[in-house]
Structure 1
Amino acid sequence: MRYSTKLIGTTRLAGAALVLTMAAACGSPTSMANAPASGTESAPPSGSGSASASASTPVPPPGKPQFDPPQGAVRVPDNRVDGAALPKTFPKEVYSDNGGTVLVVRAEEGGCGHALGEAVEQSAQKVVVDLSETKAQTGQMCTMDLRHPVISVALAAPLGERTVVLKRSAPR
Structure 2
Amino acid sequence: MVGTGALLLMVTACAGQDMPTNLPEAPAGSVSASPKPSPSGSVLPAPAEPNPPGKPRLTVPEGSTPVPADKIDATALPAGFPREVWTSNGGTVLDIRAQEGGCGHALGEAAEQTGDHVVVNLSETKAQTNRMCTMDIRYPVISVALAAPLDRRTVVLKTTPPK
Between Structure 1 and Structure 2, the one with more helix by share is 1
Contact 2:53–2:93 under 8 Å retained in 1? no
Q: Which amino acid aligns with 1:88?
A: A
SS at match of 2:128: coil
Where do 5+ consecutive residues of structure 1 fail to align?
A: 1-41, 45-57
Rounded Cα–Cα distance in structure 1 between residues aligned with 2:144 and 2:133: 27
**1:88 Cα offset (Å):** 1.5
Could you list the runs of 4 or more consecutive aligned residues of structure 1 that deviate by over 6 angstroms after TM superposition? none
- CA offsets 1:84-133 (integer angstroms, 9 cap, x no match): 00012000000000000000000000000000000000000000000000
Q: Which amino acid aligns with 2:161?
A: A
Q: Which amino acid aligns with 2:67?
A: V
Contact 2:122–2:160 under 8 Å retained in 1? yes
Write the mapping of 1:29-44 to structure 2, written as runs, cut at 5 A: 43-44=48-49
Question: What residue in structure 1 maps to residue 72 of structure 2?
Answer: 81
Where do 5+ consecutive residues of structure 2 fail to align?
A: 1-46
Question: What residue in structure 1 maps to residue 12 of structure 2?
Answer: none
Rounded Cα–Cα distance in structure 1 between residues aligned with 2:141 and 2:81: 13
TM-score between the two structures when normalised by the length of structure 1: 0.66
Query: Max radius of gyration: which structure?
Result: 2
1:170–1:43 distance in 2 versus 1, CA, 3 Å: farther
Rounded Cα–Cα distance in structure 1 between residues aligned with 2:97 and 2:89: 17
Q: Which amino acid aligns with 2:64?
A: A
Kindly, what percent of the aligned residue pairs are identical?
A: 64
Q: Which amino acid aligns with 2:55?
A: K
Rounded Cα–Cα distance in structure 2 between residues aligned with 1:99 and 1:107: 21
The question of 1:104 aligning with 2:81 is answered no
**1:145 Cα offset (Å):** 0.2
Question: What residue in structure 2 maps to residue 34 of structure 1?
Answer: none
Contact 1:43–1:66 under 8 Å retained in 2? no
Rounded Cα–Cα distance in structure 1 between residues aligned with 2:105 and 2:158: 16
**1:68 Cα offset (Å):** 1.0
SS at match of 1:99: helix
Rounded Cα–Cα distance in structure 2 between residues aligned with 1:114 and 1:62: 14
**1:63 Cα offset (Å):** 3.3
SS at match of 1:159: coil
